[in-house]
Structure 1
Amino acid sequence: MIITKIPAAGLVALLTLNVTLARSAQLIQENQTVIGSACIGLDCFNGEDFSRNNGDQALSNDVLRLKENNLRINFDDASAAEKLGKRWEMTFNSTANGGGSYFLLQALNNEKSEIRVSDGYQRQPICDGYGSIFDGGYIENEFIPAGEPILVPASTTVPQQGYLVECETSDVLSDGTVPAPICDVVQNNDTVQFNGVIPNGEPIIEVASVTQGFWTMYTCTESEELDYQRQNLFQINAGANGDIVLGEGGPSSDERIVSLGRDGMVRQLKNIASAFSASDIVTVGDLKQALENTDQQLDVIDLFLASYPVFKDFLAGTSDQAPTPEPEPAPGAEDGADTQSSGSDGEPMIGSLNWGFMILLSGLLVIRRRFNG
């Protein structure tokens, strides 16, 4: 057996070559059939378990699994012009550390020509104040609103260890004797320092926290990173109280909502069916019909109120005259002319209110039932 000694440098070069070859792209110029399951992504590994379970119940295996951080799926129409819709991208979760969990569908072009803006999940930086060096200059659980420029934090002072004193403004006004704390400073101990008193009538400044750590002063500037032209089409935000955004928009501080855009970019809902249930959307047609029904009910109530005194006397037996509505003047009748219609015996005719109290009452009950649905 012949043993060949390879220099250490040569061995490293050989191993590097093998790794490079293992990760090189493969071009397959023929149809390919995969019998079984496939996993694609940087987080797939040899021996990937494709089985899925729902408690003790085994489910069918995944046929295709996409597995990695910052997962994106792109559809690129090579024949389309450079405009929105040449590419379509499906995005799963934010690229920002600690960002949101969502599914997003966007239309894009293939040219990076616009300043990148927030998708609503870029963290909000500290733009003028102290922050912990371990947080990288970002505010915890605060994000830049969707559509606004992305801001990048930058440290402006040498980090120092100590206690950061932070304050907040109270709704209570000073009486002129309340001590004024020294805020937004890093000091060597946790004892709050004061400087004079808060003037009478001004809000009281209270110490919110005194935190030990490594601190530096941050400022921020707009990012100059270019991005593709994008248009949001559909977004679902994960969570127990997640929301759905249709069209250009972004996550909202509200929960359990369906949004059709954002402030300054609103849309209409069209071709909506009429409402039936209490939780259905009411259309303009529904409102118009409701107003017409209300006008009819008011007409009936006005008629009842105008006829009530006559009904009252007639039903009480104090009058033998059945209630008769005042007839409308005939077209062309002269002022003061007698337009009262009479029967063959000369007595006034009983019009549409003939024994009308019970009929009117029945009509009101029917309308009430229809109105209450």
Structure 2
Amino acid sequence: MASNNHLTLAVAGSGKTKGIVDACAAADPHEPILVLTYTSANQQELGNRLATDVGNHHNIEVSGWFSFLIGHFVRPYLPFAYSNKRVRGFDFKSEPQQGVANEEWRRYFNKQSEVRKVHLAQIAHRVNEAAGGAPVRRLERVYDRIFIDEVQDLCGWDLEILRLLMASQIPLEMVGDVRQAILVTNSRERKNKQFKFMKIWDWFKAQEKAKRLTINQESNTYRCRPEIAQLADSLFATGRGFDPTVSKNDTVTDHDGVFLVKSSDVEAYVREYSPLLLRRTVASGRKLDHLAPMNIGVSKGLGRKHVLIHPTNDVMKLLRQGTPLDEQPAAYLYVAVTRAEQSVAFIVDDPGGCQHPHWAPPQRRTRLSDQRTTSSLA
């Protein structure tokens, strides 16, 4: 029997969010649709684009994942698990409650009856079980379809909620890219820890094998030049089962491809191309602070013509010696590289065995050209 659940594994620059907006625009205006995502930035992006492109469809609701769990599971059905109790807020900061039994109220709520983020998905799952599946049955009555954007961000007990949704009668459309799995809903959760970050790909493939899910790969990127797409693909082992990226960007400029930039030339490069300057963390590349670099994790969803990356030591080894990256550093570098449309550059003084050329400022290129002309005349 064909599954109602679909996952589109889409490469960076393929138009993942646009696909959700287009599907909502094509839907019957009377069809109630729920669109879920994790980050507040993505909620705002989805809300703005749906308002612009599908403003006449008044039955589309955009919600954050945590708001969804509180509003549709915990708040209305909490008395089934804990009688005469109410949710009085959201505790975003609590540490995991080690040594507190799963049955205890204080595992899930602080002294102000605020539900703890770190255990929100677990209490949502417990409430659904205590209520005999009533929360999911209500969702089936309320919504005709559910979309989940950036689904690779889910982990821990969130996967158990996802399993409940996949077993429901609601068609579930999920979109994401596990190669960009650098954020998760709960990094400290032990449940399903073997499927955290990029390893959620293994969980999805297991669901497909069990015929709970159909996976489709969208391999066309409309953002990245072929050289950039090839570099991005090379960061991951071929055995992971990702289809090769196909670049649909055939724009030609005077600065296309992958380059190295010497530290002494960074400011000239920034003046010349106004690149998106990326670093892994605030602690790395502090010498670049005056150029307002952005952390890679914050750059998700952005696209720029040119990108300049301050490499970590591991990325330096990759560039100079070809030493492969572990999956998590590879995911961060994938996000950084695929922000670029026309060029990616790395701040590297000693190239070692790297084949990418060093960029030279215009004045140095002019001098080199003059020297070659003089040499040929001699």
Quick check: TM above 0.5? no
More helix by share: 2
TM-score (norm: length of structure 1)? 0.22
TM-score (norm: length of structure 2)? 0.22
- Name the structure, 1 or 2, with higher relative contact order (CA <8 Å, separation 6+): 2
Q: Larger Cα Rg: Structure 1 or Structure 2? A: 1
